[in-house]
Amino acid sequence: MVSLLRNQKVRNALLQALYVGSLAAMVLACVMIARRNLAEQGITSGFDFLFKSTGWDVNFSLLPATANDPYWWFFLIGIVNTLFLGTTGLILATIVGTIVGLARTSSNELARLLGRTYVDIFRNIPLILQVFFWYALITHLPTPRAAHEAFGMLLTSRGLYVPVPNVAGIAFAAAILGVIAAIALPLWLGRTSHLSQPFGERVGIQLTAAATALATAAIILALGRLPDLPLIDFPALQGLNLKGGMRIPPEFSALAIAIAIYGGSYIAEIVRGGFKAVGKGQMEAALSLGLSPWRVFTLVRLPLALRAMLPILANQYVWLMKATTMGIAVGFTDFFMIVALTINHSGQTLEVIGILMAGFLAINLSLAAVFNRINKAIALKGNQLRG
C-alpha cells in the first residue's frame, strides 16, 4: 500500500480524483439540500413552470407582453431587452470613446487636456452611481404639463417623448437600411475606386450613389405610410398625460446615458492605445510618399490602429453587455431582473439560476465568436504586423 503511494503516477491520479471528486461532491450536496428545502416549500423541480403564465408584468419590452404570457416568453423578452440596451449602450459608448480618444491623441494640447479630464473623471466614478444620478435627474424633470420641448421632442419626468413617423414597421426598417446605405456606399466606392480616376469623377459617382439610396429610402417611406394619419406623429399634451409619439422610459435612458459615458471613458483609452501602437515610422513613410494628412490618417493610421484595438475592444464590449445587469438598480427589466423576479414569484431557484448562467454564457460566447471572425477577416497577411 505504502509502496503504491510512493508511485508518482498513482499519487497523481489519486490527487486529481480527490480534487475533482470533492468539488463535485460539494456541488452535489448543495443541489441536494436545495432540492430538499424547495420540496419542503411545495416547489417541485423541473422546467414545467416555463409554460405557466407569470401573473406579473414588465415595464419595458420590445416584444408584446402581458401578465398572461408564460415564463419562457418573459425570459426571451429579458434577453431581447438586455441585447437592445447593450447594443445601444455599446454604440453610444463607441461614439463617445472615439471622439474622446481622438481628442486624447490629437496634436493639440488643449484638446488633449479636455480628453484627459473627461477620462479621469468618468472612469473613476462607479457605473452604478452614474446610473443612479441620471435616473434621479430624469425623474426629477418637470411633469408632462411643464415639459421641456425641443425639435418636437418632449422631455418629462416620465421619460423622453420622441415623434415617430406613421409608417409600417417593415417600411421603416427598410428606409433606415437605405439611409445606412447612403452613408456606406460612397465610403465603399471611395475605397475600391482607383486613385488614377480624376477626383471630380470619383466624387460624382459617390454623390450619385448616395442620392439614389436616399431617394429609394424616401420612396419606401412614402409607400409604407399608414393611411389617414399625418406623416409624423408628434407627442402632445392631452389632459394630464401625453399622447402620441414614442416614449423612451427614464430607466432605459438613464442606463444608456450612464453606459455611454462610463464605457466611453474606457473605450477612449483603448482608442488612444490603438493609435499609440501604430509605429511612427509608418506614418512618416506615408507622409514622405506625399500622401495628404487626411489620407495618411484614413489609409495608414486608422486601419493599423483598428487592428491593434479590436481584441481589447471585444473584451470591453463583453463587459458592457454584462453591465446591463445594473438595470435591476433602477427597475429596467433586463434578463437578470427577469431572473430575479422569476425566483421571487415562482421559487424555481435552481432551474432559473441555470437559465441565467446559460443565457450569459450564450451572450458572451456569441460576442466572442463575432469578434474572432472580424479579427481573422481583417488580420494583416504576411509577416509585418500581426493584429
Partner 1 sequence: MEMVVVAPPAPSRLEDLKRRFFATPLQALLSLISLTIMAFIVWKLLDWAVFSAVFTTTGGPEACQAAAGACWSVIAARWRIILFGLYPFEEQWRSALACVSVVVMTVLSCIPAFWTGRRIALIWGAGTGLYYVLMKGGVLGLPYVGEEAWGGLALTLFIFVTTCLIGFPLAICLALLRRSDLPWISRTTGLIIDGVRSLPLISILFTFAVVLPFALPQWLQGDKLYRVILGSALFFSAYQAEIVRGGMQGVPAGQEEAAMALGMSYWQRIGRIVLPQAMRNALPATINQFVISFKETSLVVIVGFFEILASGNAAYGTGEWRFAYVEVYAFIAFIYFIFVFSLSRYGAYLERRMAVGER
**Interacting residues with partner 1 (CB under 8 A):** 12, 15-17, 19-20, 23, 30-31, 33-34, 37-38, 103, 106-111, 113-114, 120-121, 123-129, 132-133, 136-137, 140, 322-323, 325-326, 328-329, 336, 339-340, 343, 349, 353, 356-357, 360-361, 364
Any residues with CB less than 8 A from the CB of 160 and at least 6 apart, and which? 153, 154, 247, 248, 253
Report the residue number, 102 or 205, with the smaller CB distance to partner 1.
102
Q: Which helix (H) or strand (E) holds 233?
A: strand 232-233
Rounded to a whole number of angstroms, the minimum distance from the CB of residue 354 to partner 1 is: 11
Least CB distance from residue 31 to partner 1, whole Å? 7
Q: Residue 300 CB, nearest distance to partner 1 (Å)?
A: 19
Measured from the CB atom, the residue of 204 and 347 that comes closer to partner 1 is 347
The nearer residue to partner 1, 76 or 125, going by C-beta atoms, is 125
Minimum distance, C-beta of residue 209 to partner 1, in the bound complex (Å): 29
- Please give the grid coordinates belonging to residue 104: 486624447
Instruction: Tell the residue number behind the cell numbers 446615458, with chain if given.
Output: 257
> Could you tell me the smallest distance in angstroms from the CB atom of residue 191 to partner 1?
24
Residue number, 11 or 243, with CB nearest to partner 1:
11
Closest CB 217 distance from partner 1, rounded Å = 32
Residue 232's SS3 state is strand
5/110 with CB nearer partner 1? 110
Count H helices, E strands: the chain?
A: 14, 8
* DSSP-H helix ranges across 277-334: 280-288, 293-295, 302-323, 327-330
Whether the CB-CB separation of 69 and 51 falls below 8 Å is answered with: no
CB 334 within 8 A of CB 85: yes
**Cα end-to-end distance, the chain, whole Å:** 55
Please check whether residue 274 is in contact with residue 251, taking contact to mean a CB–CB distance below 8 angstroms: no
The CB-of-176 to partner 1 minimum distance in angstroms stands at 31
Residue 289 CB-density burial (10 A; 0-12 exposed, 13-18 middle, 19+ buried): exposed
Q: Which is nearer to partner 1, 107 or 383 (CB)?
A: 107
Cα separation, 242 vs 227, in Å, equals 23
Nearer to partner 1, 131 or 175 (CB): 131
What is d(CA 252, CA 152) in angstroms, rounded to the nearest whole number? Answer: 20
